């Protein structure tokens, strides 16, 4: 296999993971979580989301989290913003990097954002413009990039169309989300190849896999073979699809690091330290972590 020497892990647990949990953690616990993840070697930690607290009460304290964050040199703390109102809150809280969230699925876009796929992406134009004017880095998620519960498989050209629109808005990097965990090696490489052929290089592409069919690690390897070096993961595998209760959780950070360590790909992240954080967080959440590596490396289930 042609694998890179180093991979950048984007830890999404404090945002994508916690937003799916029933238990709402105190702000101090969230800050401790982010701090412990930094101690484990993470250099990009998605901290929170400035969505309407009515819709995501688990992250209602986004302002307090960002103001209480102990920022460390060399570590990025992106936050998700859904619209200009969310961006205003994020800017007031002193963020230096944002993420916007589009969809490759027309149906999901209408259900989740109340707008068609292209219209929803276009709505982010003023957010991205204002972010760039303020000197902020912009990450763009394209959810349902491989399939959704209503339309089935999403053709690579359709997902690539969404990616090109996000690039046109000014996004610095893309993350393709396998939101319900249906991606395969073939689909992963088809989408990346389509994007590269249309001018979006692998250095701007990230992947965000769920593990519904146990394919997440295989899909990561497929992406790495084509030059992608940015992988999203969530400690302990927490976080799942908000629209498909049968979908698996996020790719577990410990599983990812264990695999990459085994093939000599550097991440800077210590899997055992992440497992220790997962074990601690399991106690805070009141349930065991779904990820295999979290259980194996910690030596117990909770």
- Mean pLDDT along residues 226-230: 98
- Mean pLDDT along residues 99-106: 93
pTM of the prediction? 0.95
pLDDT of 248 strictly over 70: no
- Mean pLDDT along residues 109-119: 85
Q: In what order do the strands lie in the sheet with 230-233?
A: 8-11, 230-233, 205-209, 173-178, 137-143, 97-103, 79-80, 48-49
Write the CATH number for 166.
3.20.20.70
Residue 55 domain-assigned (yes or no): yes
112 vs 42, which has greater pLDDT?
Answer: 42
Residue 302: band (very low, low, confident or very high) from pLDDT cuts 50, 70, 90:
very low
> For residues 121 and 191, what is the distance between their CA atoms, to the nearest angstrom?
19
> For residues 41 and 48, what is the distance between their CA atoms, to the nearest angstrom?
19
- The reported pLDDT for the residue numbered 7 is 98
- The reported pLDDT for the residue numbered 12 is 98
243 vs 249, which has greater pLDDT?
Answer: 249
Residue 3 domain-assigned (yes or no): no
The pLDDT tens digits for 51-91 are: 999 999 999 999 999 999 999 999 999 999 999 999 999 99
β-partners of residue 143 are: 103
Per-residue tokens: 37: 């993840």
> For residues 279 and 273, what is the distance between their CA atoms, to the nearest angstrom?
10
β-partners of residue 102 are: 142
Read out DSSP for 74-94?
Answer: T-B--EE--SHHHHHHHHHTT
- The reported pLDDT for the residue numbered 157 is 97
Residue 203: band (very low, low, confident or very high) from pLDDT cuts 50, 70, 90:
very high
Residue 1 domain-assigned (yes or no): no
Which residue range is the domain that position 122 belongs to? 8-298
3-state SS class at 150 = coil
Residue 274 domain-assigned (yes or no): yes
Residue 193 domain-assigned (yes or no): yes
Q: What is the mean pLDDT of the chain?
A: 94
- The reported pLDDT for the residue numbered 301 is 43
Provide the 8-state DSSP code for 234. B
Residue 152 domain-assigned (yes or no): yes
115 vs 172, which has greater pLDDT?
Answer: 172
- The reported pLDDT for the residue numbered 230 is 98
Count how many domains the chain has: 1
> For residues 272 and 40, what is the distance between their CA atoms, to the nearest angstrom?
8
Instruction: Provide, rounded to the nearest whole percent, the portion of the chain with pLDDT above 70.
Output: 96
């Amino acid at each position: 296999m042609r694998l890179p020497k180093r991979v950048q892990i984007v830890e999404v647990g404090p945002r994508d993971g916690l937003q799916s949990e029933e238990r709402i953690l105190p702000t101090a616990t969230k800050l401790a979580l982010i701090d412990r993840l930094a101690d484990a070697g993470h250099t990009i930690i998605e901290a929170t989301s400035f969505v309407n607290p009515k819709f995501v009460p688990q992250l209602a304290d986004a302002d307090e989290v960002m103001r209480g964050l102990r920022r460390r040199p060399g570590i990025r703390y992106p936050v998700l913003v859904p619209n200009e109102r969310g961006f205003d809150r994020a800017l007031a809280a002193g963020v230096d990097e944002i993420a916007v969230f589009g969809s490759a699925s027309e149906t999901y876009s209408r259900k989740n954002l109340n707008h068609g796929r292209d219209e929803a992406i276009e709505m982010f134009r003023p957010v991205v413009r204002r972010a760039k004017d303020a000197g902020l880095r912009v990450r763009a998620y394209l959810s349902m990039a491989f399939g959704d519960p209503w339309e089935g498989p999403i053709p690579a050209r359709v997902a690539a169309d969404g990616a090109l629109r996000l690039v046109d808005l000014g996004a610095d990097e893309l993350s393709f989300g396998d939101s319900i965990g249906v991606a395969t090696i073939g689909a992963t490489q088809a989408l990346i190849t389509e994007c590269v052929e249309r001018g979006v290089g692998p250095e701007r592409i990230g992947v965000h896999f769920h593990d519904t069919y146990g394919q997440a690690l295989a899909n990561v390897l497929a992406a790495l073979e084509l030059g992608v070096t940015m992988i999203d993961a969530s400690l302990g595998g927490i976080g799942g699809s908000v629209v498909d209760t049968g979908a698996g959780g996020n790719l577990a950070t410990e599983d990812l690091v264990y695999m990459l360590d085994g093939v000599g790909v550097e991440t800077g992240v210590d899997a055992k330290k992440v497992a220790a954080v997962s074990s601690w967080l399991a106690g805070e959440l009141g349930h065991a972590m779904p990820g295999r590596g979290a259980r194996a490396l910690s030596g117990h289930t909770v």
